Amino acid sequence: MSRGLNKVMIIGHLGRDPEMRYTPSGRPVTTFSVATSRSWHSADGARHEETEWFNVVSWGSLAEICNQHLHKGQQVYIEGRLQTRRWEDAEGNKHFTTELVAREMIILRERRDISRSYEAGSGDEGEEYSV
């Protein structure tokens, strides 16, 4: 049987402050959104820009770190996997959402251009957060 691969890496800016809550068993979970943008020129020379929004979910100690250190506007690197959740509401309507489940987070810089990088075990370069 062959293995599959589900790995996502994004660099973007937080669209809102993280929100942390706890599962009934007490496990922390933090959610936030990240916007990535790309631009290109069409054949007629017109410039186009497109923004893609990612809903990010972090668990455990990474959830606590994200809640503590992240805020709206920061540029971050997020690595993880895509997960689609399905549920049915009280009226029987089916819902789907696709989320990036974070495994690693690195703060790249603030919107106001304060450079602060977090990488594991690299001394002066800061701290990298992963699970």
Q: How many domains does the chain have?
A: 1
pTM exceeds cut of 0.85: no
Could you tell me the mean pLDDT of each successive run of 10 residues in the chain, 131 residues long?
92 97 97 96 93 97 96 96 94 95 91 43 47 59
Q: Nearest to residue 32, comparing CAs of 48, 5, 49, 10?
A: 10
The answer to whether position 3 is within a domain reads no
The answer to whether position 1 is within a domain reads no
The answer to whether position 107 is within a domain reads yes
pLDDT of residue 112: 56
pLDDT of residue 42: 92
> 122: burial class by Cβ within 10 Å (0-12, 13-18, 19+)?
exposed
The answer to whether position 111 is within a domain reads yes
Q: Nearest to residue 67, comparing CAs of 75, 80, 81, 57?
A: 57
- What is d(CA 66, CA 6) in angstroms, rounded to the nearest whole number? 22
CATH of the domain at 123: 2.40.50.140
pLDDT of residue 104: 97
Q: Nearest to residue 59, comparing CAs of 97, 96, 100?
A: 100
The answer to whether position 84 is within a domain reads yes
The answer to whether position 92 is within a domain reads yes
Residue span of the structural domain in which 82 resides: 8-130
Region for residue 62 given its phi and psi (left: phi exceeds 0; alpha: psi -120 to 50; beta: otherwise): alpha
pLDDT of residue 109: 77
The answer to whether position 19 is within a domain reads yes
The answer to whether position 21 is within a domain reads yes
